[in-house]
């Protein structure tokens, strides 16, 4: 028996997850919807067997939906989440959890009250890379951790695959690379090393009114471990690149673009040999199925999403200030 899924939001991320659910043997997509009629039409053409309904209410109230995946702009997340819990259904929420931390806390409290299954769609929610990193840290393979570095380089913002979300992802009040990209690494650090504290941050904005940040620099701490974050927009010829590096006294490991894990060896980056070959998306969906079967998982919860968003909003609010 498969788990029946409803999806609200069919943009780039929503459609990607739709395809992943369809490819997984333990899920059936029984209803989906997007506010944009053109996107709904495109989904009907690309996935003729998938029911595209006429409203978000139809997805949430559908008799067969067991879990609802919310892949809409972040300003709608809490309202949809409240509706999902109101129908006593499980929730998979896209990040960020919310833009307003008070509203996010409301959803966290409701999740606790209902006890319903819930999780956040962070890129490092599951999979061989995060599981291997957990072993590396637990076994002290790199020795004492001296620092953590996160770096991004983008040719533009939005990125080419984010154009359908340009109306909000380019706005500093609703989007930006810090919310959209750094959130994944904040979650990963929380999982590996504990909660982050923002020491200082500096943001550079384009001259266009309300545009999201073009460059970000921040100093943070995970316990006694210094964490450095730097990212920004280069030129249209700049190759997209991101990396997450753990520098230790006895070694160094790095996650590069596309979640490839490397170790530093004699001045070169060498692929780290991992035991599992499963993709992150496959592992995430396997664990979601376990969650819906009532089994324990290591997936991030709505509470984890709130803690990540607290760091993100603190970083944005502290721009130009320091503790």
Q: Cα–Cα distance between 181 and 240 in angstroms, integer?
A: 12
Number of domains in the chain: 2
Q: Are residues 140 and 262 in the same domain?
A: yes
Q: Are residues 171 and 203 in the same domain?
A: yes
Q: Which domain CATH number covers 136?
A: 3.30.360.10
When pLDDT is averaged across residues 267-295 and rounded to a whole number, the result is 92
298 in a structural domain: no
Q: Are residues 206 and 76 in the same domain?
A: no
Query: For position 1, what pLDDT does the model report?
Result: 79
297 in a structural domain: no
When pLDDT is averaged across residues 177-190 and rounded to a whole number, the result is 96
In three-state secondary structure terms, 286 is: helix
Q: Are residues 137 and 263 in the same domain?
A: yes
214 in a structural domain: yes
**Is the pLDDT score of 323 beyond 60?**
no
Q: Are residues 133 and 98 in the same domain?
A: no
When pLDDT is averaged across residues 244-262 and rounded to a whole number, the result is 95
Q: Are residues 61 and 152 in the same domain?
A: no
Query: For position 254, what pLDDT does the model report?
Result: 97
Q: Are residues 75 and 140 in the same domain?
A: no
Q: Cα–Cα distance between 77 and 65 in angstroms, integer?
A: 18
Q: pLDDT tens-digit profile of 189-220? A: 999 999 999 999 999 999 888 999 999 999 99
Which DSSP letter does residue 275 get? Answer: S
Q: Which two tokens stand for residue 223?
A: 């316990």
When pLDDT is averaged across residues 12-17 and rounded to a whole number, the result is 95
Q: pLDDT tens-digit profile of 107-127? A: 999 999 999 999 999 999 999
Give how far Cα 153 sits from Cα of 187, 239, 294, 312, Å.
Answer: 20, 7, 40, 19
How much is the mean pLDDT over the chain?
95
301 in a structural domain: no
Q: Cα–Cα distance between 249 and 146 in angstroms, integer?
A: 7
Q: Cα–Cα distance between 21 and 124 in angstroms, integer?
A: 18
* Residue whose pair of structure tokens reads 């750094």 in the numeric block: 182
**Residues contacting 259, CB < 8 A, separation 6+:** 123, 127, 129, 280
- Residue where one domain finishes, among candidates 121, 139, 165: 121
Q: Are residues 256 and 165 in the same domain?
A: yes
When pLDDT is averaged across residues 220-238 and rounded to a whole number, the result is 95
Q: 18: buried, middle or exposed (CB in 10 Å: 19+, 13-18, 0-12)?
A: buried
Q: Which two tokens stand for residue 159?
A: 């990125």
Query: For position 21, what pLDDT does the model report?
Result: 98
E-strand stretches of the chain = 3-8, 27-33, 67-70, 90-93, 118-120, 145-154, 196-204, 215-222, 225-233, 241-248, 252-256, 260-265, 268-271
**Is the pLDDT score of 257 beyond 90?**
no
- Residue where one domain finishes, among candidates 102, 121, 140: 121
285 in a structural domain: no
* Residue whose pair of structure tokens reads 């921040």 in the numeric block: 218
232 in a structural domain: yes
Q: Which domain CATH number covers 57?
A: 3.40.50.720
Query: For position 142, what pLDDT does the model report?
Result: 97
**Is the pLDDT score of 155 beyond 80?**
yes
When pLDDT is averaged across residues 78-89 and rounded to a whole number, the result is 98
44 in a structural domain: yes
Q: Are residues 112 and 187 in the same domain?
A: no
153 is in which domain, residue-wise?
Answer: 128-280+309-317
Query: For position 321, what pLDDT does the model report?
Result: 56
**Is the pLDDT score of 322 beyond 70?**
no
Q: Are residues 146 and 199 in the same domain?
A: yes
**Is the pLDDT score of 129 beyond 60?**
yes
CA 111, 113, 118: angle at the middle one, nearest 5?
20
């Amino acid at each position: 028996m498969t788990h029946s899924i409803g999806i609200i939001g069919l943009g780039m991320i929503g459609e990607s997850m739709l395809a992943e659910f369809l490819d997984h043997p333990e899920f059936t997509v029984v209803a989906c919807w997007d506010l944009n009629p053109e996107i709904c039409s495109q989904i009907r053409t690309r996935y003729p067997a998938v029911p595209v309904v006429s409203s978000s209410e139809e997805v949430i109230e559908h008799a067969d939906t067991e879990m609802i995946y919310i892949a809409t702009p972040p300003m709608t997340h809490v309202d949809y989440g409240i509706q999902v819990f109101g129908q006593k259904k499980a929730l998979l929420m896209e990040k960020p959890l919310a833009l307003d931390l008070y509203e996010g806390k409301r959803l966290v409290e409701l999740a606790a009250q209902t006890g319903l299954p819930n999780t956040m769609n962070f890129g490092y929610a599951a999979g061989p890379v995060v599981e291997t990193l957990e072993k590396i840290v637990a076994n002290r393979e790199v020795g004492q951790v001296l620092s953590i570095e996160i770096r991004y380089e983008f040719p533009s913002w939005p990125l080419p695959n984010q154009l359908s979300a340009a109306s909000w992802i380019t706005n500093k009040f609703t989007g930006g690379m810090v919310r959209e990209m750094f959130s994944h690494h904040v979650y990963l650090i929380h999982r590996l090393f504990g909660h982050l504290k923002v020491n200082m941050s500096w943001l550079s904005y384009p001259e266009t009114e309300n545009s999201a940040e073009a460059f970000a620099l921040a100093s943070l701490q995970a316990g006694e471990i210094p964490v450095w974050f730097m990212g920004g927009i280069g030129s249209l010829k700049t190759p997209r690149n991101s990396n997450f590096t753990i520098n230790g006294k006895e070694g160094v490991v790095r996650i590069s673009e596309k979640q490839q894990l490397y170790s530093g060896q004699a001045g070169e980056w060498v692929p780290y040999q991992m035991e599992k070959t499963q993709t992150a998306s496959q592992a995430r969906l396997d664990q979601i199925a376990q969650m819906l079967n009532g089994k324990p998982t290591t997936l991030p919860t709505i509470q984890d999403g709130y803690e990540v968003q607290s760091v993100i909003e603190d970083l944005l609010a502290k721009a130009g200030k320091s503790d």
